[in-house]
Structure 1
Amino acid sequence: MDVKTKQVSFDQLISELSTRLINSEPTETYECIEEVIAAIGDYTEADRCYVFEFDDHIKHMTNTHEWVRDGHQAHIDSLQAIETDDLPWFFKEMKENHVCIVNDVQTLPPEANAEKAEFDREDIKSVICIGMVANHKLLGFVGCDMVQKKRQWQPTDLRRLSLVADMIANTLERQRTYAELIHTQRELEKANRMLQAQVAQDGLTGIANRRAFDERITNEIQRASRHKTPLALLIIDIDQFKPYNDHYGHLQGDQALKSVADAMFDQLQRNTDFLARYGGEEFVAVISATDEQKTKDSIQQLLEAVQNLKIEHEQSQVAPYLSISIGGYLHTPTADENTEALISRMISKADSALYRAKSDGRNRGYLDN
């Protein structure tokens, strides 16, 4: 093959490889770079062809891709996280010139003793390395080794490997940009989830707040309507909480609210159960896919859970300990009911049941349906 024909063949190869890299998906990048260095290594008749990547500060380098001609030894496993002090002359050459060309390893200068020892270890007789630069930043380099015999590297070798280095550099930069974009996107999603959780969370008790309840009750009504299952709404009030706050102070009052919320939350552990702070010392619970007896059992469990806390309440006219009153409403929504009107009715019915529980002495719960 004459020089002109070989050049046309190389240009065609580069065009094909470039197209392959450009059209590759991020998940295919590694495989594509492997194909590129295998093709260029074979075409240039090198014994090895490889890619090293630098860290952001060019303090160490790692062999990330390697092609080895049949019959020669691979070294990628032993060329990981190489520090600047390990090969100082080579690092200096790459940082300053972005090129390192050695026609004969035995002619390396005295300051390259560490490099010569490494090249001898790998049986390298000649080596050429071309920096991969993207956006004015040195990302790493592409290199070729000769093991069987020395080689006088020609300007055409430099040109060809430079083209490959540019191709891979652009691909790596695109991959890094993509990875950074994905990372940023995930961080934003995480921040949005945390923000959404904060917006829907009561700052004092840690359970859901009124806003979250408004969204949840709508969803649960729609779900119950589709499945034709009953839905219970409970309104829960801490008995005589103002006297408690006045007597024990707001800090202890806040702690009592947290303790009551935790105790009730522990009782409502099904995926379909929901507890929120409705305002002040008032809470609301939504229990889906239930029935009258199960709802009454849930009310009793909530009453007992707060009683078992045994939070002393000297100012209570109900019991020596903090207690709650509960009013509930059980209903099976239908498709023809207006959701907003139904929510208002359920709250009104539960509130009426709560009023009766308070009127009858508190520390009890009633259910309407």
Structure 2
Amino acid sequence: MRTTLNTQDILLILRQMPSSILFKCPERGHVYASKGFERDFGISEMGASQGQSIVFFDPQTKTQIPENANPFSMVNSGKSVSQQLRLQTDSRTMNCFVKSDILNTPLGDWVVLRVKPNSTELFADNSKHSAVSKHIVFNQLLTDFSSKLITAGAHELDSIIDQALAAFGEFCDVDRCYLFEFDEQEECMSNTHEWVAAGVTPFIDELQNIPTDTMPFFMSHISNGIFKVEDVSSIPDSAASEREMFQEQRIFSILCVGIMVGGKVYGFIGCDIIGSPYSWKPHDIEYLRRIGEMLGNTLQNLHNKKALQKAQAELLEANKQLERLANIDGLTGIANRRLFDITLELDVARCIEQRLSLSLLLIDVDYFKQYNDTYGHVAGDAVLQKIAETLTNSCVGSDDLVARYGGEEFVVILPDTDRDTLKAIAARILRNVLFLDIYHEASDHDCSLTVSIGMVNFNDTELESEHLKHGKQSASWLVEQADEALYRAKNSGRNCAKF
């Protein structure tokens, strides 16, 4: 009878261990796993070749642990290991607590890594205190997120969502956690936030503007509040395309809950497991739903704020439009008499205060009544529109105001304009009106429509005189002076400008 162990015997014993361990034979470089490890990681049977595909990650930085610094190498160099790591196999990736041991045998020392997945530790009978503590800590995190979300502005929301997804993903030990938003018509959905565990490929860039009609099975469930799949292969053949899409991404289990905003589905928050089926625990669903409700309440508040801001902006724009309409002449589109009166009073006061000169032009279309009688009011309106455009183009000062004074009369306010400049502007207007080449058989000037202009110019000393002490009286007095100048222009044969 054989009384000594050989390498195969030791391998067989370790392979049958119900606890989750990884081990290395001193004679070989291969990594082997116990039945307990295979059970926890959803592996039917891990051969030596699969053992070589085990990768260790730092769960915080998500960076891969270099070969010379992984637990086996650390033990070989004489160091012990007792730390949190993330293990990736061909089937599953999980956060685990890894502790090293040395098994002394007649055939040499074997390196053994005891691997305790976080989810296993959380629900083990002998870890009740640990489970309760973790739940308390996570609930406190949710309370903190809820407090932050209550006062969060739109610019803070992204960071809080990222933190909440990371907290849930790490607590429930899932591979991905994400937020999707639907467009207004629920025709497309986009991945707006994503957390992934170490060693997991992010998909946020690829999951943009996905047509919802390509996922009817998913949409029918999420519209009712929850989409829960413990084994993707169980998705019915009627949704084969959706099942295949999940399988292409090696997704085995999915959990999503809808987010309601404004009485409709805004989007959903979800998570998935890669590599092996997983039975979702009641607390997975409850915590994900709580995060979804918190986000929904916050997004609802932001939605309400945006709606209020939009209404306020529309009201402000409407008021501006009303004000504009109250100050703009409906026919010509330039300032009306009301805006002219207000502006002239303000300009008189400003020019006195800043010791500036102030000029005024009063312009009348010559023989306009005869034009209307001959060519009709539609043609007359067109003439007034052309004259208004010509006046606007002839006055280039940023503070100048061109207004329709009434009927066929127009007025131009020219602050900080001296006498010579005023004469040049008036001459330009007379010339530009003639360039319009509007036929008017009653005109005294080659049957062309013309205008007459009354000019007024006062310097700061004259504006401060006894005649111009009060704003309204000053403005009225200036208009009277311009009207008298216009009368002189008409008596001088029209198509001219007079002071």
Tell me, yes or no, whether TM beats 0.5: yes
1:201 maps to 2:333: no
| Distance in structure 2 (CA, Å) of the matches to 1:58 and 1:272 | 51
Counterpart of 1:5? 133
The correspondence of residues 9-158 of structure 1 with structure 2, limited to 5 A, is: 9-95=137-223, 97-134=224-261, 136-158=263-285
Deviations 1:253-274 (A, max 9, x none): 1111111221111101221111
Task: Say which of 383, 396, 407 aligns to 1:269.
Answer: 396
1:324-345 Cα offsets, whole Å, 9 max, x none, are 1111211234499311111011
Superposed counterparts of 1:137-216, under 5 Å: 137-216=264-343
Q: Tell me the equivalent position of 2:492.
A: 360
> What is the identity, as a one-letter code, of the residue corresponding to 1:313?
H
Q: CA deviation at 1:361?
A: 1.7
**Partner Cα separation in structure 1 for residue 263 and residue 385 of structure 2:** 57
Give identity over the alignment, percent: 37
2:470 to 338, 349, 369: 338
CA distance in 2, matches of 1:348, 1:201: 23
Q: In 2 relative to 1, CA 178–314 (structure 1 residues): closer, same or farther, beyond 3 Å? A: same
Larger radius of gyration: 2
- RCO higher in structure (CA 8 A, sep ≥6): 1
1:219 aligns with 2:351: no
Give the secondary-structure state (helix, strand or coil) at the position aligned to 1:283. strand
Taking only aligned residues, the RMSD between alpha carbons, in angstroms, comes to: 2.0
Distance in 2 between the 1:366 and 1:75 partners? Answer: 78
Q: Render the CA deviation track for 1:56-82: whole Å, top value 9, x for unaligned.
A: 443432212111112111111221222
CA contact (8 A) 1:125 1:149 kept: yes
Amino acid at match of 2:423: K
Question: 2:488 and 2:357 mapped to 1: Cα distance?
Answer: 23
Q: Secondary structure of 1:77's partner?
A: coil
Structure 1: tracts of 5 or more residues without a match? none
- TM value normalised by structure 2: 0.70
Residue 168 of structure 1 and its aligned partner are, at CA, apart by: 0.9
More helix by share: 1
Residue matched to 2:28: none
How far apart are residue 136 of structure 1 and its match? Answer: 4.1
The alpha-carbon distance between structure 1 residues 341 and 17, as it changes in their structure 2 partners (threshold 3 A), is same
Distance of 2:338 and 2:287 partners within structure 1: 64
- Asked if 2 retains the 8 angstrom alpha-carbon contact of 1:26 and 1:178, the reply is no
Residue number in structure 2 paired with 1:350: 482
* Partner secondary structure for residue 2 of structure 1: helix
After TM superposition, give the deviation of residue 197 of structure 1 in Å.
2.0
1:209 is displaced (CA, Å) by: 0.9
Alpha-carbon separation, structure 2, partners of 1:134 and 1:263:
54
AA in 2 matched with 1:345: W
Quick one: which amino acid aligns to residue 158 of structure 2? Answer: Y
**3-state SS of paired residue (2:178):** strand
> What is the TM-score of this pair, normalised by structure 1?
0.93
